[in-house]
């Protein structure tokens, strides 16, 4: 082995080297960029914690790529191990940067301004002039002109004095505030994620919602959240209003108003209060926000079985799939005799014939409603104890009623009924609307907001304040005093000579001698 070979790092040396690399500002900026890149899939791919139904639809539309993306955590980006690792590393890196820099900053605040260099002419901006004022008068005028800068006066040989001044310490303070605010935002988001929850529920006009797990269609919470912490409120949706741009106008079908109105009770035994929820104007109840995030139609269906018994009579939400509110839905009738019935199909708010003769929806408002369903019979699988989605029909133990070589189809408009192959009937008795609410709670939601505001203030401060050092040297030369002035910006700027001229003008005004010119 060569005698010049570099010895390998020991465990302690490697740990010290790794820590210095991790806590460098360059690494912190890289991790911040990496965190932003890692968050991109969360906006491109549906997330289970936000819309589990959209994730199911993605699996149906992309059967090959979806399982791979699922293994990589793309459907739960913000709770995935790799995103959490970047998140934690960024916090450690920022804290490791901030703490040492804070001590350096505190030492700099207590330190005296640096001594004047011997040769002012080597600095980027310097000037000299003569005055009849004494050295002490020059020092006093210099201190007044420097204003709130930190000043240190050093007296040398008789008849000489130097003034050292430094200002702009708030620049580094603003820089530190900005980086601390990033940590505050990260901590606030982490606390809200760990202790918060978010869910969604569909509520049809005339029906209600109670804030319990069984009432949610989708629910997700942080690892430190407990189900018994759910606020015990309830609400009832009385009416839902949806308005769209009229047909024949520009942007026909564009949404104009969504409004959910009803009553709520903050806790058992409390009095009822009214609510009026619109988009971006949620209802706040005991730290929980109820947002209006979607709406659709719920046809009211009445099903009679072969024995003439009414076995189903309620509204069924059909979920919109496109801007014209072409909707799909499932109807499960477990009480039908002699076999259970299942319906699956579509709802068109404004039905029209398409180019190939198929029915399509041309407008999101219910101007010409049409309901189309296919019918299955058998075992719905509800008795096995395994929970099922109300929007998915399990056909594994069911058979479809056929009409020749095609599936038997029910086609109804409001007020119409149709006989079923088993001898029963199905009737489209009315049409209601439903609202899709997102119910969420994020403890400490104000913390990230405060952090963002403080960060912006710190960033503006660090970008606008000029950290500058100024030196004044005065020496008596016969009956005159020679004054040398030099300035140095710790951050290079093009306006340094102009600022020096302005400083000299104010300085000489303080001396009361404005006619003499600087050399």
Q: Give one DSSP letter per residue of 22-78, joined into a string.
A: HTSHHHHHHHHHHHHHHTHHHHHS--TTT-HHHHHHHHHH-TTHHHHHHHTTGGGGG
159: tokens are: 């008849």
Q: What is the pLDDT of residue 224?
A: 86
Q: What is the pLDDT of residue 8?
A: 67
**Is-contact 294 275, C-beta < 8 A?**
no
Cβ neighbours around 496 below 10 Å, total: 16
User: What region, left, alpha or beta, does residue 204 occupy, with left being phi > 0 and alpha being psi -120 to 50 degrees?
Assistant: beta
**Is-contact 397 377, C-beta < 8 A?**
no
Q: What is the pLDDT of residue 496?
A: 81
Print burial letters for 452-490: b (CB count within 10 Å at least 16), e (below 16). eebbeebbebbeebebbbbbbbbbbeeeebbbbbbbbbe
Q: What is the pLDDT of residue 518?
A: 45
What's the distance, CA 169 to chain centroid? Answer: 33
Q: What is the pLDDT of residue 355?
A: 73
Distance from C-alpha of 216 to C-alpha of 209, rounded to nearest angstrom? 9
Distance from C-alpha of 259 to C-alpha of 255, rounded to nearest angstrom? 11
Q: Residue 116 half-sphere exposure, CB side, CA atoms within 13 Å?
A: 26
pLDDT along the chain (519 residues), means of 10: 59 84 86 90 82 77 87 87 90 89 87 86 89 90 88 82 89 90 90 88 95 88 85 95 89 92 93 94 93 94 92 94 92 92 95 83 94 94 74 89 91 95 93 94 88 93 88 90 90 79 90 59
Q: Which residues pair with 340 in a beta bridge?
A: 378
Say which residues have a Cβ less than 8 Å from residue 32's Cβ, sequence separation at least 6.
90, 182
Q: Nearest-CA neighbor of 395 among 365, 423, 415, 375?
A: 375
Say which residues have a Cβ less than 8 Å from residue 197's Cβ, sequence separation at least 6.
219, 220, 221, 222, 225, 230, 440, 441
Distance from C-alpha of 13 to C-alpha of 470, rounded to nearest angstrom? 42
∠ Cα 93 98 101 (to 5°): 125
**Is-contact 230 198, C-beta < 8 A?**
no
- At 449 the three-state DSSP class reads helix
212: tokens are: 């319990």
Q: What is the pLDDT of residue 192?
A: 87
149: tokens are: 């800068």
**Is-contact 364 325, C-beta < 8 A?**
yes
> Please, what's the largest Cα pairwise distance for the chain?
126
135: tokens are: 């050295």
- At 212 the three-state DSSP class reads coil
Burial of 243 (0-12, 13-18, 19+ CB in 10 A): exposed
Q: What is the pLDDT of residue 379?
A: 92
Distance from C-alpha of 2 to C-alpha of 337, rounded to nearest angstrom? 91
Q: What is the pLDDT of residue 1?
A: 46
378: tokens are: 């058998």
Q: Nearest-CA neighbor of 433 among 251, 250, 292?
A: 292
Residue 511 has what DSSP assignment? H
Q: In which element (H, E) is residue 506 found?
A: helix 496-511
- Tell me: cis bond preceding 455? Omega within 30 of 0 counts: no
Query: Which domains are present in the chain?
Result: 11-107 (no CATH), 123-168+468-511 (3.30.310.80), 197-441 (no CATH)
Q: What is the pLDDT of residue 499?
A: 86
What's the distance, CA 346 to chain centroid? Answer: 34
- For residue 328, CA distances in Å to 60, 179, 319, 356, 406 come to 14, 49, 5, 20, 20
Distance from C-alpha of 330 to C-alpha of 341, rounded to nearest angstrom? 11
């Amino acid at each position: 082995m060569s005698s010049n070979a570099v010895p390998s790092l020991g465990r302690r040396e490697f740990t010290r080297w790794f820590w210095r690399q991790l806590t460098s500002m360059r690494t912190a900026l890289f991790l911040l960029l990496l965190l932003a890149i890692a968050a991109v899939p969360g906006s491109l791919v549906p997330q289970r914690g936000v819309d589990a139904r959209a994730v199911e639809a993605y699996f149906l539309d992309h059967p090959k790529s979806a399982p791979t993306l699922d293994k990589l955590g793309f459907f739960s980006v913000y709770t995935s191990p790799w995103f959490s690792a970047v998140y934690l590393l960024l916090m450690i890196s920022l804290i490791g940067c901030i703490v040492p820099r804070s001590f350096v900053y505190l030492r700099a605040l207590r330190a005296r301004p640096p001594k004047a260099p011997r040769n002012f002419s080597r600095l980027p901006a310097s000037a000299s002039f003569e005055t009849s004022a004494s050295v002490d008068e020059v020092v006093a005028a210099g201190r007044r002109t420097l204003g709130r800068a930190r000043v240190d006066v050093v007296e040398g040989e008789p008849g000489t004095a130097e003034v050292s001044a430094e200002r702009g310490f708030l620049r580094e303070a603003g820089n530190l505030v900005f980086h601390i605010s990033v940590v505050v935002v990260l901590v606030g988001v982490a606390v809200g994620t760990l202790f918060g929850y978010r869910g969604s529920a569909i509520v049809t006009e005339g029906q209600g919602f109670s804030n319990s797990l069984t009432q949610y269609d989708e629910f997700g919470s942080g690892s430190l959240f407990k189900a018994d912490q759910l606020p015990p409120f309830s609400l009832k949706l009385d009416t839902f209003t949806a308005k769209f741009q009229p047909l024949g106008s520009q942007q026909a079908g564009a949404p104009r108003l969504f409004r959910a109105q009803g009553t709520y009770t903050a806790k058992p035994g409390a009095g009822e209060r009214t609510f009026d929820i619109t988009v971006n104007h949620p209802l706040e109840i005991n730290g929980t926000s109820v947002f209006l995030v979607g709406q659709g139609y719920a046809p009211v269906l009445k099903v009679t079985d072969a024995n003439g018994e009414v076995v189903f009579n309620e509204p069924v939400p059909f979920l919109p799939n496109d801007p014209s509110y072409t909707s799909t839905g499932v109807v499960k009738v477990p009480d039908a005799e002699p076999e259970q019935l299942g319906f699956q199909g579509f709802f068109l708010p404004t039905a029209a014939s398409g180019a190939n003769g198929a029915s399509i929806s041309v407008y999101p408002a219910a101007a010409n409603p049409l309901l189309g369903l296919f019918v299955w019979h058998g075992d719905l699988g509800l008795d096995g104890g395994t929970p099922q989605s109300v929007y998915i029909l399990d056909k594994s133990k069911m058979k479809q009623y056929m009409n020749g070589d095609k599936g038997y189809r029910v086609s109804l408009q409001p007020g119409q009924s149709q006989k079923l192959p088993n001898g029963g009937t199905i009737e489209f008795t009315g049409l209601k609307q439903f609202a899709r609410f997102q119910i969420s709670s994020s403890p400490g939601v104000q913390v990230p907001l405060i952090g963002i505001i403080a960060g912006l203030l710190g960033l503006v401060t660090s970008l606008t304040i000029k950290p500058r050092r100024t030196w004044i040297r005065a020496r008596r030369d016969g009956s005159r005093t020679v004054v040398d002035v030099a300035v140095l910006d710790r951050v290079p700027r093009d306006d340094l000579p102009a600022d020096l001229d302005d400083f000299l003008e104010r300085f000489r005004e303080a001396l009361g001698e404005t006619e003499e010119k600087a050399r």
